[in-house]
Amino acid sequence: MQKKILGNSYVLLIMVLLYIPIIFLVAYSFNSGTIMSGWSGFSFIHYQQLFADTRLLKILLDTFILAISSATIAAFIGTIGALFLDSFHNKKNLNVFSSLNNVLLVSPDVTIGVSFLILFTILGFSLGFVSVLISHIAFSIPIVLLMVLPRLREMDNTLIIAARDLGANRGTILSQIVIPEIWPSIMAGFLLALTYSLDDFAVTFFVTGNGFSTLSVEIYSRARQGVSLEINALSALMFAVSLLLVLAYYLYTTYSDKKARLTK
């Protein structure tokens, strides 16, 4: 019993420590003053400022457009890559390619960012939305591949044989048997790529140019002159959105778990 109380309070302490900065940040977004030190009263002034700040809102929109398009394209390319890798019957080749993929996953963002900057400069490619998009797609593909490949390898091969036996050609097998089978992993890869893209600072910082910025880069450049509470308001809103997403995910998984158990 005592052990349990000790354990619980330990976990609680950790949670509080982790959440304190965020709670602090959210609380101050409602401060009527302009700085983080000293509470001068409750107000929505920073939210009003935020919604009036068209530059920031445009950047927010750009960030989401970038994330959705890079994750979609990466999901597409990554899935095709996984399908090709899965068709390798030589285990050695497969392992080599999987390892090369994992190297990309663990290599620091700074390395990727700098290398893309060098590449774009050598090619004389102008830096902007397209260069950022290309780099985001590039670092997202390995993520999708990591999610999709195991599912493909686990897939029961006789399903494909059975479909062929019933008269299906390669295209039909792919669209009606294989893709539905690996769809959950493609979605998981897409969502993971989406969050990576939304989060990314280092790669974007190197390859973006004039006229295009993402939220993290913008916040970083503004923060150098001291964080305005408008940023707090924006962060609070984004935090709320993440909370909602987690909640939705939780409800979705418990519902499908229940369904899976009932149908067994």
Partner 1 sequence: MDKKVLPVIEFKNVGLSFDNNQILKNISFEIATGQFYTLLGPSGSGKSTILNLISGQLSADAGEILFDGKVINNIPAENRRVNTVFQNYALFPNMTVFDNVAFGPKLKKMPKDKIKAKVREMLALVKLEAFENRAIQELSGGQKQRVAIARALANEPEVLLLDEPLSALDYKLRKQMQSELRAIQKRLGITFIFVTHDQEEALAMSDWIFIMNDGKIQQNGTPVDIYDEPINHFVADFIGESNIINGVMKQDYLVNFVGKDFENLDAGMQLNEPVEVVLRPEDLDLVPVDQGKLIVTIADQSFRGDFYEITAIDDDGNEWKVQATNPSSVGARVGLDFGPEDIHVMRFNESEDDFDARIESYEGE
Among 38, 99, 156, 261, contact with partner 1 (rule: CB under 8 A): 156
Task: Please report, as residue ranges, which positions from 86 to 115 form the binding site for partner 1 (by CB under 8 A).
Answer: none
Residue with tokens 């780099």: 135
Is residue 263 within the footprint of partner 1 (CB under 8 A)?
yes
Task: Please report, as residue ranges, which positions from 20 to 79 form the binding site for partner 1 (by CB under 8 A).
Answer: none
Is residue 158 within the footprint of partner 1 (CB under 8 A)?
yes
Q: What angle do CA 16, 18, 20 make, to 5 degrees?
A: 60
* C-beta of 92 vs 264, nearer to partner 1: 264
> Rounded to an integer, what distance in angstroms lies between the CA atom of residue 207 and that of residue 198?
15
The CA-based dihedral angle spanning residues 217, 222, 227, 233, taken in that order and rounded to the nearest 10 degrees? -60
Structure-block tokens of residue 250? 């939780």
* C-beta of 42 vs 183, nearer to partner 1: 183
> Rounded to an integer, what distance in angstroms lies between the CA atom of residue 178 and that of residue 56?
42
Task: Please report, as residue ranges, which positions from 162 to 191 form the binding site for partner 1 (by CB under 8 A).
Answer: 162-169, 172, 176-177, 180-181
**Run of H or E residues at 91:** helix 91-106
* C-beta of 62 vs 181, nearer to partner 1: 181
Among 3, 91, 261, 264, contact with partner 1 (rule: CB under 8 A): 264
> Rounded to an integer, what distance in angstroms lies between the CA atom of residue 141 and that of residue 24?
36
Is residue 222 within the footprint of partner 1 (CB under 8 A)?
no
* C-beta of 210 vs 263, nearer to partner 1: 263
Rounded to a whole number of angstroms, the minimum distance from the CB of residue 129 to partner 1 is: 37
* C-beta of 58 vs 259, nearer to partner 1: 259
201 touches 219 (CB < 8 A): no
Taking the alpha carbons of 154, 155, 158, 161 in that order, is the dihedral positive or negative?
A: negative
CB-based burial, 53-89: b 16+ in 10 Å, e otherwise: beebeebbebbeebbeebbebbbebbbebbbebbeee
Rounded to a whole number of angstroms, the minimum distance from the CB of residue 191 to partner 1 is: 20
* C-beta of 50 vs 182, nearer to partner 1: 182
Rounded to a whole number of angstroms, the minimum distance from the CB of residue 161 to partner 1 is: 6
Residues forming contacts to partner 1 in the complex (CB under 8 A) are 156, 158-159, 161-169, 172, 176-177, 180-181, 260, 263-264
